[in-house]
Amino acid sequence: MHSELSLFRQSEEWGMSSKINSGNNANSNDKEQSSAKSQPNSARKMYSIGRRINSAFVGRFVWHILKMDVLICVIVLVLGIFVAEKTALGRVSLKTERSVEWNIGSDFLSYNMTDAKGNTAVFTISRNELRVAVIAGIVILVMEFFSVLVMSANMKNNINDKLLPIREMAKKTEKLTNLAYNEHNFKSLETAIENVNAASLDTKISTNNKELQGIENALNHLLERMRETYRQQSRFVSDASHELRTPIAVIRGYADMLDRWGKEDESILDESIDAIKNESEHMQKLVEQLLFLARGDSGRNNLRIENIQLNELMKEVFEESKMIDAEHEYEYIGEPVKLNGDVSMIKQCARILIDNAAKYTQKGDTITIRTGNRQEGVFFSVQDNGIGMHEADVSHIFERFYRSDEARGHKMGGTGLGLSIAKWIVDRHNGYFDILTRPDIGTRITVVFVGGERLAEECENAVNDEKEEKN
**Tens place of pLDDT per residue across the chain (471 aa):** 333 333 333 333 333 333 333 344 444 444 444 444 444 555 555 556 667 777 777 788 788 888 888 888 888 888 877 887 777 777 777 777 877 777 666 667 777 788 777 777 777 777 777 778 788 888 888 888 888 888 777 777 777 777 777 777 777 676 656 555 556 666 666 676 766 665 555 667 766 766 667 777 887 788 787 777 777 677 677 767 766 777 788 888 888 888 787 667 778 788 888 888 888 887 888 788 778 877 777 777 888 999 999 999 999 999 999 998 999 999 999 999 999 999 999 999 999 999 999 998 999 999 999 999 988 899 999 999 999 998 888 988 988 877 665 554 445 556 678 898 999 999 999 999 999 999 989 999 999 998 766 655 655 655 565 566 665
Task: Name the CA dihedral angle for 318, 322, 324, 327, rounded to a multiple of 10 degrees.
Answer: 130
Do 168 and 275 lie in one domain? The reply is no
Please indicate, yes or no, if residue 122 is contained in any of the structural domains. no
The secondary structure of 303-364 as a DSSP string is ---EEEEHHHHHHHHHHHHHHH--SSEEEEEE---EEEE-HHHHHHHHHHHHHHHHHTS-TT
Q: Which residues of 307-343 are buried (b: 16+ CB within 10 A; e: fewer)?
A: bbebbebbeebbeebeeeeeebebebebeebbbbbbb
DSSP-assigned letters across all residues of 399-419: STT---HHHHHSTT---S-HH
Q: Are 16 and 141 in a shared domain? A: yes
Q: How far apart are CA 57 and CA 445, in angstroms?
A: 69
DSSP calls for 222-286: HHHHHHHHHHHHHHHHHHHHHHHHHHHHHHHHHHHHIIIIITT-HHHHHHHHHHHHHHHHHHHHH
Q: What is the DSSP letter of 443?
A: E
Residues 171, 67, single domain; the answer is yes
Domain that holds residue 231: 210-297
Comparing C-alpha atoms, which of 446, 205, 173 is closest to residue 334? 446
Measured CA to CA in angstroms, residue 405 lies from 175, 241, 272, 318, 401 at distances of 62, 20, 28, 29, 13
Pairing of strands 442-450, 431-438: antiparallel
Residues 345, 375: one domain? yes
Tell me 120's DSSP state: E
DSSP SS3 for 79: helix
- Count: domains in the chain: 3
Residue 117 lies in a domain: no
**Are residues 20 and 156 both part of a single domain?**
yes
Residue 194 lies in a domain: no
Q: Among 297, 332, 348, give the residue marking a domain's end.
A: 297
Q: Is the pTM above the cut of 0.75?
A: no
Q: Other C-beta atoms within 10 Å of 191: how many?
A: 15
The pLDDT assigned to 30 comes to: 47
Position 114 in a domain: no
For residues 291 and 314, state if they share a domain.
Answer: no
Domain membership of residue 118 (yes or no) is no
CATH at 319: 3.30.565.10
Q: Give yes or no: residues 284 and 166 share one domain.
A: no
- CATH assignment of the domain containing 279: 1.10.287.130
How far from the centroid of its chain's Cα atoms is residue 256's Cα? 57
Name the pairing type of β-strands 442-450 and 377-384: antiparallel
Q: Same domain, yes or no, for 280 and 389?
A: no
Query: Is residue 463 one of the residues assigned to a domain?
Result: no
**Alpha helices, DSSP H, located in 90-126:** none
Asked if 391 and 440 sit in the same domain, the reply is yes
Asked if residue 137 is part of any domain, the answer here is yes
Kindly state whether residues 217 and 314 are assigned to the same domain. Answer: no
Q: Are residues 292 and 319 in the same domain?
A: no
